[in-house]
Structure 1
Amino acid sequence: MGNYYNNDYDREYERRDTYRYDNEDNYYHEHNRHHQCDNHIKPSIVKPSLDYNVSVPISLAKSLEGKYFVGHVENLTFGRCTGAWARLYNPKDSGVNLHVTVWTVSDLSESPFRAGIWFNTNPPGVPYKSNFVTPANLALHPLPKSRIKLQYSKDVTGEPNGGDEAYFRIGQPGSTLVSEEDGKFIFHLEVPF
């Protein structure tokens, strides 16, 4: 097989234009790339008519909706009979339920520590608001604002008042505790975690 022509216009440019190699059997001229004939190669990929069922992780789905937030608090200091805490607080005017996906605690000290997970409690000390909260999806405009508050307090004395200590973890020096909750911790309005 050789070149094929669409019309006299293509013959005029035969010697001046570059030919492209398509496969072992066919060459085609740039002007004829949309030409269809029996000698022209048909696409080798056939688009199947399939129905697709895609599973999207809930964290990705909520991020796409602008409802997935990440954050941290500044370094917490404690010791010599004092403690520290950080919490997610769902105020009564938030209008949303709080789902906890993952939490982490990193130990930068040289001593082990105990991390208690409390539900529905009032912690000791004065709560401070963390400024380190952001939506996970930064492609949205305007960026959504979290209605949940990330709060913390350091060098406090005493235990949390009321509520339940759901469980605790022991962290080793220089380690990070990570707990994947996958949204199973759900808190209604005005409930701290």
Structure 2
Amino acid sequence: MEKFKSVITTPDVRVQAEEGRLFSGSTEILQFGNSTSAWGRLCNPKQSTVNLFIDVFTISNFSDNPFTANLYRNSLPPGDRLKSSDVGNANFGSINSPEGVIQYNPSVNGVPSGGTRVIPRRVPSNETIADSIDGKAILPPGTSLLIFLTSDTLVKGEIQFAWWENRDITCY
């Protein structure tokens, strides 16, 4: 019996941009600390017809004090869900609009519910940290990646996401 080799390929981000399927965006400035937290998340709505392949996320700290960022898979954030208007196509000549949505809340009480905490991060003062995932994290319709920020002192930060969308790949 012939054995098949498993082959995994990650599409070139440049190709995704050329084809108008690469998107990026950010939250507004998030001001939190002491008794409040903040969050931003990339959501793939249930009615979406694509999978979101996360390329990179960044977390910027505009303050003199560090803060903590916890990443959650499929958690419900506390507070109102504001939709970012700072989202666009990386190909400036493309008319494609994203199905993925960036939501955020700059100052909330409470903690995420449900889902799974997957990655903790410490964000140094006056720095930006970036995690390049290169499409290895996939958000099928109805899923999300939440970044929840906490601090003991008043700080300001921002969360950015870059992803591509593809209708041709089925996720289970």
| TM-score between the two structures when normalised by the length of structure 1 | 0.68
2:86 corresponds in structure 1 to 132
Letter in 1 for 2:107: D
- Which whole-Å CA distance do the structure 1 matches of 2:92 and 2:11 have between them? 18
Letter in 1 for 2:56: V
SS at match of 1:63: helix
* Structure 2 residue runs without a partner (length 5+): 1-9, 146-172
More strand per residue: 1 or 2?
Answer: 2
| TM-score between the two structures when normalised by the length of structure 2 | 0.76
For residues 42-101 of structure 1, the C-alpha deviation after alignment (integer angstroms, 9 at most, x for no partner) is xxxxxxxxxxxxxx9611111111110011111001112210000001001111111110
Quote the offset at 1:102 in angstroms.
0.4
Q: Does 1:168 align with 2:115?
A: no
Q: Detail structure 1 runs of 4+ shifted over 2 Å in the superposition.
A: none
1:17 corresponds in structure 2 to none
Q: In angstroms, what is the RMSD of aligned CA positions?
A: 1.3
More helix per residue: 1 or 2?
Answer: 1
Match of 2:55 among 101, 105, 121: 101
SS at match of 1:121: coil
* Corresponding residue pairs, total: 136
Letter in 1 for 2:113: N
For residues 6-64 of structure 1, the C-alpha deviation after alignment (integer angstroms, 9 at most, x for no partner) is xxxxxxxxxxxxxxxxxxxxxxxxxxxxxxxxxxxxxxxxxxxxxxxxxx961111111
Matched ranges for 1:33-182 at <5 A: 58-140=12-94, 143-182=95-134
Is the CA contact (8 Å cut-off) linking 2:28 and 2:106 kept in structure 1?
Answer: no
Letter in 2 for 1:189: P
2:167 corresponds in structure 1 to none
1:44 corresponds in structure 2 to none
- Which whole-Å CA distance do the structure 2 matches of 1:80 and 1:158 have between them? 13
- Which whole-Å CA distance do the structure 1 matches of 2:15 and 2:57 have between them? 19
Larger Rg: 1
Is the CA contact (8 Å cut-off) linking 2:39 and 2:105 kept in structure 1?
Answer: yes
Letter in 2 for 1:183: G
1:52 corresponds in structure 2 to none
